[in-house]
Structure 1
């Protein structure tokens, strides 16, 4: 196949969605497909989805340049949905791609942080301009088809983790469960959607301060510097300075060492399309405490291999963390349960193989159906 992949900004960005895109590019190329990566100018979160909803009748030179780059004889023009504000303007005018398929990691419409009818209008209009969609969770697929009025062929293709299988043994996880202090990790850019403030409120409540714990917040402090400063100030005001470490962006090897030492991962995001970080933690037997809003509950089974909590409820989050710190037998059992889940989760090869088959069927004009990978 000849595939065009449209992304926003640099493909080498560190988020899970961009890692998924890079994995897909490598997979397709190893199987003999030609992949042309088309990078569109990055937009700020404030700008995405807020443009006028009608395509320009007289496109500017910049618009014409983008349209010329998109309108090429690709078998499939695969588009990261993050680019929807620009693509909604151009897709209706494209004539040369054989099929246009959206890769949907994270819709903005279901995000409680984004309450703007213009965002829904733009995402709806964009999804109505594509031929099919690949979604990273059933949760995201359901919302994608709702926006597209239920007529869009879809594939659910969940991401895998960082390892083929697991990174630690069950014996390692059980032994770590006996160690002190109780270590909590947060992994993700320090931005409002990731909801670090709720985690801090929970940490300040852990069993009245009876447990010896430490928390490490791993992720960029530069993506939203204003919010990151507010988060660090909140940690100071809660008296958590001596037990919460903000690392900023770190290398993969350092992240892996954090996960090797951690007992629990707590990321109470306001909304996660899938939540790759929970799965990555499970590969280390780290007990995930995941957001109930989004796709994480499709692989985090509450009380069996982790917990699922309301991201607006710091009291419940504190209760879960305190219970794990107090009951190391349960911590070990949940950690080994997390390992078992990571073991049976689809690998990158399985997921991306299903994506490639789906794309082939799209470009050949076959019925793509709606079955998950």
Structure 2
């Protein structure tokens, strides 16, 4: 099946219209007509080669929502016409301890990423900046009717990336949670943490998005550009979720944690971060990382968001504005996620 798409021809080059081939629908596969695809900062890092060499030409996109148009003979969970989504992975070994425990994202043999990975047939996976995709049914999520389909797209990466650590580290009533950065990830972290019942604080470079942060559910908003912020908030938080993809002063943020508090990195900067171990041992603090979630947890997140009326704040764009959108993401000029209307790809 040949479908329209947008691809990066080489590192740091503008994306261009193209046509790609999708595999035939096998017994366990689902064919999805993609309706919307979110633009993730990871897409930009990948196509720019920030995280190493990539298999160009490359079609990005791992925040995918659409409608099922065909299912394989062995598929029972999804039906033609269902609203579905696909996130950051489209396969894993299914046999290792992590896969068996529902942590397919940490597959010991390596999960298959939605783009720039090697699929089961040896071909390179191509992502959601396209009109259709064929995916193993086990990696297809159901999108509840309670979420607008376009606003649901970013939940497949940004949503689960923030939901997973909030859930794992116990965000809820009586917990003080800080979110570093109010961007594509951060704005969803605020919504989700608020819905979980936590006391939520946004830590952003300036106060220019303060009104938005409070509207989204934050109880407090502080500017990290003000050196006094770190003194005033010292030892305050049970959990800090760092969503930014740039370097931070890790020691300064660890100093904001209470006894037994945890700083979790979900943003993925291109350069290494460092810390002083005394920032940890002085108050039995932890510094952790987290990457998306397993399939069952991602479905749980979608159901949670539907129950609480949570979707991303989006700017819907046609395909011919993808390169412009990339520039605006790098300039932090989006509130808060670009979503491509894939009907404009044809």
* TM-score when normalising by structure 2: 0.29
Look at both structures and tell me which one has the larger radius of gyration over its CA atoms: 1
